[in-house]
């Protein structure tokens, strides 16, 4: 079966992705960039209280929102094992982020195949917007990242017909409830994926299981936190000024992708940062547009590709509702992840590869790599390269190795 977890190719890609995640952030961990901000200090204090057995906080201190139990528990565990320090806390958050990253890779693999998954996974690992945020203990952001990707992975298993039980949808609903309490800005794109899947499947029991589980988890957390919470920081974040926010959106996206900001303040970037952020913004804009203006040419004709682009745009639209006075560029973190969850980047990569090698476009209608009965999703030779192991016949009767020899003229 393509993309089997125990395969040599999968382990190779996994090792490469983990190495990139760690190596790209090592300078921050051992350099002079460890100074925590005020929110990280608070979560470090929460983790210390848990490690010492003094408290078990569910929400971020001083707030009536921000589910931080997972990040606090992980931080406390690492404090117990390696001592109390900001470096230990940041490394613990990095490992938590890497679990979410791995789940996202598995989700894209379920929708698009193993090569597509690691192509997009490496892009996310190298994205400047997540360079520091993958290590920030800020109470809720990494938790929302992890549970959003966990729900997408479960949904990809349904898409691949590997799991169609109502319990799977109950698990997805539980993730939705936890995301709501962690960071609701992740919900618009996630709900768009879920709604499209429910509409396509037309199974009422699955929708009921998902909704019941989400409401139950959200309700239980509400009951558990009402007796012991603080409203010290309860700003009116939702205060839309649509026209001004729309005007500021291109600049906000650029600053977010450059990661040159601190809370609501912008930091003057260097030349390399300017070039990198501009290129990232251009790629993302093109990737959002292509599924709609050139679906056949790029091969982005299936629903995950379009929904991925729509969910990225949903993240931007939801940011328009935030008060311009309180807006922070970190609120755009869901935008980058939802775009990575689509097939667009891999499809564009396949098109570029075919142009570079002069290989003619050959299409054949066949379905999900995990479902041999399906023949509904059109794919191209670029997708063919990405979804089959070397030595395994593809839809044209070729293997990847044979295709490479064909291109090389051997």
Rounded (10°) angle between helices 141-159 and 166-182: 160
Structural domain boundaries in the chain: 8-349
pLDDT digits (tens, 9 = 90+) for 369-395: 333 333 333 333 333 333 333 333 333
Average pLDDT of span 99-122:
84
Exposure string of 211-248, with b = 16+ CB inside 10 Å and e = fewer, is bebbeebbeebeeebeeebeeeeeeebeeebeeebeeb
User: pTM of the entire structure?
Assistant: 0.77
Confidence of residue 50 (pLDDT cuts 50, 70, 90): very high
Instruction: Please report, to the nearest 10 degrees, the dihedral formed by the alpha carbons of residues 390, 150, 89, 133 taken in order.
Output: 80
Handedness of CA 224, 227, 232, 234 (dihedral sign): positive
Among 99-113, 115-129, 130-144, 371-385, the range scoring the smallest mean pLDDT is 371-385
Give the lowest-confidence range in 67-71, 96-100, 151-155, 280-284: 280-284
Residues 6+ apart with CB under 8 A from 307: 192, 193, 196, 342
40 compared with 378, residue with greater pLDDT: 40
Condensed to tens digits (0 to 9), the pLDDT of residues 311-322 reads 777 878 888 888
CB half-sphere exposure, 407, CA atoms < 13 A: 19
Residue 408 pLDDT grade (very low, low, confident, very high; cuts 50, 70, 90): very low
Q: What is the DSSP string of 188-249?
A: HHHHHHHHHHHHHH--HHHHHHHHHHHHHHHHHHHHHHHSS---SS----B---HHHHHHHH
| Mean pLDDT to the nearest integer, 217-224 | 90
Counting Cα atoms < 13 Å in the Cβ hemisphere of 400 gives: 14
Band of pLDDT at residue 224, cut at 50, 70 and 90: confident
Q: Is the pLDDT of residue 82 over 50?
A: yes
Rounded Cα distance, 193 and 311, in Å: 7
Digit-coded pLDDT (tens) for 285-303: 777 776 666 555 544 555 6
Is pLDDT above 50 for 162? yes
354 is written with which tokens?
A: 């075919």
Looking at the DSSP assignment, which residues form a beta bridge with residue 67?
59
Average pLDDT over residues 71-80: 94
């Amino acid at each position: 079966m393509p993309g089997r977890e125990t395969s040599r190719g999968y382990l190779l890609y996994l090792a490469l992705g983990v190495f990139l995640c760690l190596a790209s952030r090592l300078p921050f961990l051992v350099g002079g960039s460890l100074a925590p901000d005020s929110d990280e200090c608070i979560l470090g204090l929460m983790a210390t209280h848990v490690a010492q057995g003094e408290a078990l906080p569910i929400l971020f201190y001083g707030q009536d929102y921000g589910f931080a139990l997972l990040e606090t528990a992980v931080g406390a565990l690492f404090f117990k094992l390696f001592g109390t320090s900001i470096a230990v806390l940041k490394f613990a958050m990095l490992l938590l982020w890497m679990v979410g990253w791995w789940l996202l890779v598995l989700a894209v693999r379920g929708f698009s195949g193993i090569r597509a998954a690691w192509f997009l996974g490496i892009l996310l690992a190298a994205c400047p917007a997540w360079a520091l945020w993958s290590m920030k203990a800020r109470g809720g952001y990494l938790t929302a990242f992890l549970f959003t990707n966990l729900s997408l992975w479960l949904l990809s298993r349904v898409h691949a017909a590997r799991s169609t039980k109502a319990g799977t949808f109950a698990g997805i609903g539980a993730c939705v409830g936890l995301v709501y309490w962690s960071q609701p800005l992740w919900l618009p794109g996630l709900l768009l994926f879920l709604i499209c899947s429910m509409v396509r499947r037309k199974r009422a029991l699955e929708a009921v299981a998902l909704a019941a589980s989400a409401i139950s988890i959200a309700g239980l957390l509400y009951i558990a936190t009402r007796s012991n919470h603080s409203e010290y920081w309860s700003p009116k974040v939702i205060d839309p000024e649509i026209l001004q926010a729309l005007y500021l959106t291109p600049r906000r996206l650029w600053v977010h992708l450059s990661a040159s900001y601190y809370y609501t303040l912008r930091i003057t970037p260097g030349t390399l940062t300017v070039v990198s952020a501009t290129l990232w913004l251009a790629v993302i804009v093109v990737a959002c547009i292509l599924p709609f203006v050139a679906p056949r040419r790029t091969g982005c004709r299936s629903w995950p590709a379009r929904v991925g682009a729509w969910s990225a745009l949903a993240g931007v639209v939801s940011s328009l509702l935030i008060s311009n006075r309180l807006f922070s560029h970190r609120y755009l973190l869901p935008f980058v992840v939802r775009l990575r969850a689509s097939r667009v980047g891999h499809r564009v990569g396949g098109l570029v590869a075919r142009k570079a090698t002069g290989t003619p476009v050959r299409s054949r209608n066949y379905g999900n790599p995990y479902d041999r009965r399906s023949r509904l999703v059109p794919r191209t030779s670029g997708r063919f390269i990405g979804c089959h192991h070397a030595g395994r016949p593809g839809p044209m009767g070729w293997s990847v190795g044979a295709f490479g020899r064909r291109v090389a003229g051997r």
